[in-house]
Structure 1
Amino acid sequence: MKPSLKHFFDSMGTYLARPGGESLEELYTAHPEWRAPSSRVSLYGDFVRGHVRSALEKLFPMLRGAVGAEAWNALVEDYTLTRPARHHEVNHMGEGFPAFVADGVSSRGLPPHAPALARFEWSDFAVFSSQAESPERVERLTPNPTLLVLEQPYRICAYVRAKGAVVVPQAGDELALLWRHPAHLVTYYQEATPHALLVLKMAVEGLSASDVAVATGMPEADILGAVARLSRDGLVLSPDA
């Protein structure tokens, strides 16, 4: 990239972080050759900032409700200053937001579960938009290729499932599983229960239900039932599906 072109993008990046007023004057001072009306440039700045806000509101609706309007507005404004609007895909503006939230818990007085909730909501989108493709058929039990595992200090799965009926999530270690259903193409999630972990172990290590029954003493019918249920949910891919 030529130095002059890089200078242009750096100038626009600084302006878009905080458009209007003095920053607009500074932008035109940096580019005296410009003939575009300042009103048009200002409108473009508002347009980009609006994209940042709308993307965050779409990606983190539960976090927005959890922190309150005043704290949310401050988060969005300060996050915009980090210049997140650089990816060609709009939703990726939110990729760095969970870390930004985590860094500001103490200084902003955010709820202690805010970082965990932000990570969960971003992971929901990341799994949904994953480029990993599920094969149409498999030869043996196989983990869903979009599976993502989150280890968090709050019971976020139950909190999200309650859809606002629970004010704050319960504290406690949780291993959350998130994956995209191969047929429904939406994100599924659940706590990593013993049955879920067992079925995933079978898929990873190529174990049969009879092998597991002998090793654990569990009834083979119960094991097969868990495999069938989690196959329907898409956590694992089954050759019988």
Structure 2
Amino acid sequence: MHKVLHDQLMSLARHVRAPQDNPPPPGIEARRLAVYRQLFFGNVESLLAGAFPVLRASLGAHSWRRLVESFYAGYRCRTPLFTEISGEFVDYLAEGGSEALALPPWSVELAHYEWVEAALLLSDRREPAHDPEGDLLDGVPLLSGLAWPLAYEWPVSEIGPGYRPEEAPEQPTLLLARRGADLKVHFARLAPLAHGLLESVQGRYCSGRQHLAGLAQAIGVEPDDILSQGLALLETLRAQGVVLGTRAGRAV
């Protein structure tokens, strides 16, 4: 690209992203530049407003606009896909965007909670080979890639314009998000044991018996004390499609 044209385009792009910090390129009337700014910013703001309706309503119009303007002007997305901008927005908040704007401390987790639904709806993940009737105790349980155990410090499922907590509760909010056969995303609260088991199955390649032994050690009981309860939970999760069955191969 010719250097003059390149410089003109970069000047225009910088001005459109952050007009308060970058002078307009020469030769373009202010009215046309305003149209460009509103068009590009409006598209991004509309996309994010649709993806994060609760966060937008909870922050209020002024704080929401400041947040989107900051993201739009200063963050460099790593994807050109519109469907993935909401994930980039969550990354921006997690990397310090919420702190820079002094947003409520629950903003990052609320944004992530809202993003999860879209991420699962749009996921094209294919499940690996498995045995749906496998032994969940001696085999290696396989968690569906469309079932995510989640843990939040803040009560994200309750936050909204009418409830903006100032302090996090003592107990975390433990949830399971999953895309069902109806192609809808469902959220359910989890007991600590169920959440711990799902996280273990998600992160470790070992038998169901080993998963339960690890949980027993973590809570200070003997493995036999939770074996029957843990097996019943695994079977329930298999019936719900959260646990698909067992992986091919043997546990190590």
Matched letter for residue 159 of structure 1: E
* Residue of structure 1 equivalent to 2:250: none
Kindly indicate whether the alpha-carbon contact (under 8 Å) linking 2:78 and 2:88 is maintained by their aligned counterparts in 1: no
Report the Cα offset of residue 151 of structure 1. Answer: 4.8
Alignment partners' CA distance in 1, 2:181 and 2:40:
35
What residue in structure 1 maps to residue 194 of structure 2?
A: 195
The equivalent of 1:144 in structure 2 is: 144
Q: Which of 175, 181, 184 lines up with 1:183 in the alignment? A: 181
Matched, 1:215 2:216: no
The whole-number CA distance in structure 2 between the counterparts of 1:117 and 1:142 is 28
For 1:19 and 1:58, locate their aligned partners in 2 and report how far apart those are by CA, in whole Å.
Answer: 25
Match of 1:57 among 42, 49, 64: 49
Secondary structure in 2 matching 1:217: helix
Taking structure 2 as the reference length, the TM-score comes to: 0.65
CA distance in 1, matches of 2:201, 2:62: 48
Cα separation, partners in 2 of 1:165 and 1:137, compared to 1, 3 Å: farther
CA–CA distance in structure 1, aligned partners of residues 225 and 179 of structure 2: 31
**Residues 172 and 134 of structure 1: is their aligned pair in 2 closer, same or farther, counting only changes over 3 Å?**
farther
Percent of aligned pairs sharing the same letter = 21
Contact map agreement 1:178 1:187 (CA 8 A) in 2? no
Residue 130 of structure 1 corresponds to: 123
In the other structure, the counterpart of 1:97 is: 89
Structure 2 gap ranges (5+)? 135-140, 217-221, 247-252
Give the C-alpha shift of residue 194 in structure 1: 0.3
Residue-pair matches, total? 225
CA contact (8 A) 1:175 1:192 kept: no
Report the 3-state secondary structure (helix = DSSP H, G, I; strand = E; otherwise coil) of the residue aligned with 2:158: helix
Deviation at 1:49, TM superposition (A): 1.3
- State yes or no: 1:113 paired with 2:112: no
Deviation of the 1:116 alpha carbon: 1.9
Q: 1:82 aligns with which of 74, 86, 105?
A: 74
| CA RMSD after TM alignment | 4.1
Q: Distance in 2 between matches of 1:105 and 1:200?
A: 27
TM-score (norm 1): 0.68
Secondary structure of the residue aligned to 1:198 is helix
